[in-house]
Amino acid sequence: MTSTLYQQIQNFYDASSSLWEQIWGEHMHHGYYGVAGNHRKDRRQAQVDLIEEMLAWAEVNQAEKILDVGCGIGGSSLYLADRFNARVVGITLSPVQASRAVERAQAMGMNGGNAVGESSAQKRPYANFQVVDALNTPFSDNLFDFIWSMESGEHMPDKVQFLQECYRLLKPGGAFLMATWCHRPKHSLAGALTPDEQNHLQAIYQVYCLPYVIALPDYEAIARQIGFRQIRVADWSMAVAPFWDVVIDSALNPSAIAGLLRSGWPAIQGALSLGLMQRGFQRGLIRYGLLYGVK
């Protein structure tokens, strides 16, 4: 990962994470609003529902050692640790996020391993958090039985290396589940991306510190090339698209505006550009892709 991009991502999340938590809570990702996106629900419940719907879609029913790639302030990590009574490692580029995730784990009693003398039947869920580059992790081969990546793939400057690293870290038989921002497929009736679409994407990249995004079929091809088995993909764009309408509404809250002013220019720029993602979904350019595979 280039040092410039690394620093941009770190600065963006260092500046904006506390504001996001204040307004939205611990989950820093889309919500699920039904298959057609027409279910009205509490915004935080929609985010939890997205986690549960993804796990159900992938048929992930158990896990003991989990890696959460792009863990934010620990929302998914702590949820998965509790749900599966599992040990979770969360990684992020943001020291601010990692520190806050540790605080949240401590508050929930999940900041550490099993007590000495505890039997396996009495084991407790726990999570720890580290500042780590997802393309070059310090972890040994075949370490995790489940890798979870919630909206972090779009930040990866090398999608192939990212999936290769996840494959390396998985135990044989372990599962990988990712949700990520994509652009529409180019090999379709719509054809190649138009100059206007490319400009739209470039604007999104600049605001949200993304190197580039790819189409979901491209992710599927990469996963197959690397050696993943039982590969499945799904486009959930309709199910999550209402998220951006809700985010825009919440940004108009006086406390959110005050928080933006305190957070600095990166957070302000992100808020001013929320319509880029909203319009991207509306025109079918931005897609929300799921990828599942087994090592």
Contacts of residue 76, defined as CB under 8 A and 6 or more positions apart, other chains included, come to: 27, 29, 51, 68, 90, 148, 150
How far apart, in whole angstroms, are the C-alpha atoms of residue 214 and residue 58? Answer: 21
| Confidence band of 111 (pLDDT split at 50, 70, 90) | confident
Which of 28, 11, 92 has its CA nearest to residue 263?
11
Contacts of residue 11, defined as CB under 8 A and 6 or more positions apart, other chains included, come to: 266
Q: Please say if the pLDDT value at position 116 is more than 90.
A: no
Per-residue pLDDT tens over the stretch 3-61: 799 999 999 899 889 888 888 889 999 999 999 999 999 999 999 999 999 999 999 99
| Confidence band of 113 (pLDDT split at 50, 70, 90) | very low
Return the number of other C-beta atoms located less than 10 Å from residue 215's C-beta: 19
Q: Which domains does the chain have, with CATH numbers?
A: 3-294 (3.40.50.150)
Long-range interactions of 269-276: CB distance < 8 A, separation 24+: 269/207, 270/12, 270/16, 270/207, 270/208, 273/203, 273/204, 273/207, 273/208, 274/244, 274/247, 274/248, 275/248, 276/200, 276/203, 276/204, 276/207
Q: What's the token pair of residue 251?
A: 């940004």
